[in-house]
Structure 1
Amino acid sequence: MQTEYLLSIVTVTKNCADTIDKTLDSVAAVKDSRVEYVVVDGVSTDDTLERVRARGGLIDRLVSEPDTGIYNAMNKGVTLARGHYVLFINGDDRLAPEGFPTVMPLLEAGQDPIVCAGMRVMNTAEGELPAVPWKLPFFCTVHHPALFAKRELLLQWPFREDLRIASDYDFFLRAYVAGVRFRPVPVMTALHWRGGASGNVARSVAETRQVQRERLGWRYPLYGMVLAGYRVCKRLGLVIKV
C-alpha cells in the first residue's frame, strides 16, 4: 500500500450530487501514481456518496462524518492527506488538466512552499484570474482551487474555523507576511463557479477586513491609504493594469 505521494487532491463535499461527477472526471484526468485523492463528505443526504463510491478506484481515502463547517472539513482533509503538497478542489468545481504538466515538475522539485496557478471563473464575467501574490495585502489574489501548498505548512497553520468565508485568505496572507515564497505559474488549473457561502458579500467584506487588520497589524492603515488612492485613480480612469 502506497504511503507517500507527491500531491494530495482533497475534495470537501456535502450534497453535491448535481456536480460531483464532473469534479471526479476532472480529477481522473490528472490522477497517476504520484497523486492521492481524498474526499471528505459532511454526511450528504442526497446521492453524493453513492456517486463517489461508484468511482472507488479513483478514491484513495473517503470519510463521511459531521463537521462544523467547510474549514473544519478542509483541516480534516489535510490530516488525512499523505502528499507533500495539498490541493483543494470543491465538489462543485473542476480541475483544468491542461495546466498540470506545467505545475507537476515544480512540485517534483519541491523548492517552493506554495505554487499558485490561475483559475477560470465560469459563471461570471470575471473570466481568467491569474495568481498575483504581491497584491495579497489588498485583495485575495490567489485562489484556493488552484493553490498547491506544502502539507507541512497547512499543518503548521490550520485553517481558522472561527471564519466562515475568508479563512483561506487568512492562510494566504499569513504565509505572505511571514515571508513564505509563493511561486505564481501562468497557467489555469481550476474551473470555478461562484456562489455558496462566499456569495454573502457583507460577511465576506467584514471577514476580509478582519483578516487584514490582524495579519497586517501596524501596516494595515498604510495599506488602507494605498488602496483608497488606488480606488480614486480607478474611478478617474488613471489605473494601469499590472
Structure 2
Amino acid sequence: MNSNPLVSIITIVYNGERFLNKCIDSIRDQSYKNIEYIVIDGGSKDGTLDIVKTYCNLVKVLVSEKDEGISDAFNKGIAKATGEIIGILNSDDFFYPDTIETVVDFYNKNEQKKGIYFGDIRYFDDDMSYIRISDLSKMWKYMSLNHPSVFVTGNVYKEIGTFSKEYKYTMDVEFLHRALSKQVPFYYINKSLANFRLEGTSDLHYKDMYKEFYKSVQTYNDQGLSTRFWYRWSVFKKDVSQTSIGQFFYKRKHLLAPLLSGKIAKG
C-alpha cells in the first residue's frame, strides 16, 4: 500500500493576478510534498502568467488557452491529473499548511480509499470570517459543501464523469449530486480544509446560481413542493442579505451573516 500517494491540485485562473500569489504559496508551503500542481489559465491578459512562471519548480503542468467556461477548465485540469487524489483550489482561495497532509492521513486510514473526502471551510472577506460546517445531509436543500474543501479520488471521475458544461455556476454541485445518486461514498473530515474568499462568480450571480442548483436537484432527487420551497427560501434569504440592513449586519456580526446567507457556521 502506498502511504505517500500523489495528490493532484488544480487551479483554474483568468486574470487572477490580485490573489494568485497567496493561492500558489499555500500549495508551496504544504507540509505534504508529493503534490502534482496543475494550473489551467484561460488566456489571461494581466500579469497572471508572469506570476505562475515564478513558480516554475512547483507548477508541474501549465495550460494557457481560451476555454469554454469553468467546467471546461476544470475538466482540462482533471484530464492532466495523474494523482490518486484530486483537489481543486480557486485562484483567489488558499489552503492551510496541513490541508493535504490531513486529507492523505484520512485517506490512508480508510480501507476502501475510493470516494469523495470533504471537510469544513473558512469563509472570509475584508470585513469578516467564519468557519462553515459542511453537511452532506443538506446537499439537496442548499450548497452545503464547497469544492475547495472537497477531494475526489481519480477513479471516481473515471467512473461517473467530470463536470457538466451545461452548468455555468454550480457545476461542482451537479457533480456532487450525480455522485450521491450513483452512491459514491463520501467521507467527512472534521476540520476546516480551505479558505474561501466571498463574492466570487457564483456569489455575484446568486439568482442564476440558485436556478442551476435546483435544476440539479430536480434532475437527481426532485422532491416536488419541498424542492420549490427551498429554491424560493434560498433566494429570499440571499435577497435579504443584499439589502442595506442585511449588509449592515453582514459587515458587523459574523454570526448573523451565515444565517442570512443560509449557511451553518461555528466559531
Tell me, yes or no, whether TM beats 0.5.
yes
Q: What secondary structure, in the 3-state scheme, does the structure 1 residue paired with 2:45 have?
A: coil
Deviation at 1:224, TM superposition (A): 2.9
2:208 pairs, out of 194, 200, 203, with: 203
Provide runs of 4+ in structure 1 moved above 4 Å.
225-228
CA distance in 2 between counterparts of 1:227 and 1:61 reads 41
Q: What secondary structure, in the 3-state scheme, does the structure 1 residue paired with 2:84 have?
A: strand
- Look up the match of 2:138: 135
Question: Structure 1 residues 202 and 225, CA, compared in 2 at 3 Å: closer, same or farther?
Answer: closer
Alignment of 1:22-41 (within 5 A): 22-30=22-30, 32-41=32-41
Question: Structure 1 residues 93 and 225, CA, compared in 2 at 3 Å: closer, same or farther?
Answer: closer
Alignment of 1:12-161 (within 5 A): 12-30=12-30, 32-108=32-108, 109=110, 111-123=113-125, 127-155=130-158, 156-161=160-165
Count of paired positions: 228
- Look up the match of 1:234: none
Name the aligned partner's letter for residue 150 of structure 2: L
CA distance in 2 between counterparts of 1:36 and 1:105 reads 17
Q: Write the deviation string for residues 164-202 of structure 1: whole angstroms up to 9, x where unpaired.
A: 101100011111122111111111111111223202011
Q: What secondary structure, in the 3-state scheme, does the structure 2 residue paired with 1:60 have?
A: strand
Aligned-pair Cα RMSD in Å:
2.5
Q: TM-score, normalised by structure 1?
A: 0.86
CA distance in 1 between counterparts of 2:200 and 2:115 reads 29
Cα pair 1:131 1:185 within 8 Å, conserved? no
CA distance in 2 between counterparts of 1:40 and 1:31 reads 24
Q: TM-score, normalised by structure 2?
A: 0.78
Q: Once the two structures are aligned, what percentage of the paired residues are identical?
A: 25
Cα pair 1:5 1:82 within 8 Å, conserved? no
